[in-house]
Amino acid sequence: MAISSTVPKRKIRESAGDRIFVFAIYVILSLVLVAVLYPLIYIVSSSISSPSAVVSGKVWLWPVDISFRGFQTIFKTPLIMTGYGNSLFYMAVGTLISVTLTVMLAYPLSRKTFFGRKGILMLVMFTMLFGGGLIPTYLVVKELGMIDSRLALLIPNAIWVWQVIIARSFFQSTIPDELAEASEIDGCSDWRFLGSVVLPLSKPIIAVLVLMYAVGQWNAYFDALIYLKSDKLFPLQLVLRSIIIQNNSAGAMDISIQVQRAQLAELLKYSLIVVATLPVLIIYPFVQRYFVQGMLVGSIKG
């Protein structure tokens, strides 16, 4: 007959210094939380307040004289939905191209049997320190016939060097050379090995690359500002910028109308921020762990 004995659990006593340290950590984290949340709450509250309340500074936390005039003005513009469609297109197609090219470049660089991989890697990393500049890049894009075309937003910045380094480190630490040698003995070609073995084992890094490129494509606007001329090709961010500029250019009109335009322009700034960042704010809580994993992948093995 087994005799059960209960061993009393000892609670670790915290010293006064430990309690002070924990209290200080909670205070710091609370301040960081306030610093992060307050701008978001303020922007959302300002976007649904009346223009006069926003301009007069009455809004500091909660909405004042709730009004959706800013959003109504935004979505009355026909280019808004076109900009949304263009941004979704650039994000989807651009991410597909970028991830494909990144994997095709990073995987060979991770294999010790690839001749000249160190030299190619040095050339790739060299671009992180030195670039041709805006004017030479523009001339290259122009000579390739991509000015005022969707390709100008998909091809020139299709590969990011940091993502290549992260993917290369993942392939080096996850795909052993012995696995590639065994597949060669079995008669497996390089393309089949990449599609049947490497990619299924690399789902985590592919997810990280997809998320990084997708967020970058969604927030990009500078290339569109430089290379695009047609309104029908503008991404959402460039369309919203045009709306702000149009509302800020008052011209010659009655003083009361100028005041209304100035108030509306100030309100539009906050409404446009909400419209432009809402998709990322909705997605980010669900993909945060992938971003953390992506930052840790490169530190596993050099």
More confident residue, 114 or 101: 101
Q: Give residue 99's pLDDT.
A: 92
Say how many Å lie between the first and final Cα of the chain, rounded: 58
Contacts 24+ apart (CB under 8 A), 146-152: 146/227, 147/227, 147/229, 148/227, 148/228, 148/229, 148/230, 148/233, 149/233, 150/89, 150/90, 150/93, 150/233, 152/223, 152/227, 152/228
**Structural domains of the chain, ranges and CATH numbers in brackets:** 18-68 (no CATH), 71-297 (1.10.3720.10)
Distance CA 276, CA 71 (A): 12
pLDDT band at 274 (very low <50, low <70, confident <90, very high): confident
Q: How far apart are CA 265 and CA 263, in angstroms?
A: 5
Taking only the tens place, the pLDDT of each residue in 32-85 is 999 988 888 888 888 888 877 887 778 888 888 888 887 887 777 777 778 888
Tell me the C-alpha distance between 27 and 213, whole Å. 35
pLDDT digits (tens, 9 = 90+) for 228-264: 888 888 888 887 777 667 655 555 445 556 566 667 7
d(CA 63, CA 65) in angstroms, rounded, equals 7
**302 confidence band (pLDDT: 50, 70, 90):** very low
Single pTM value for the model: 0.73
The burial of 205, by beta-carbon neighbours within 10 Å (0-12 exposed, 13-18 middle, 19 or more buried), is given as buried
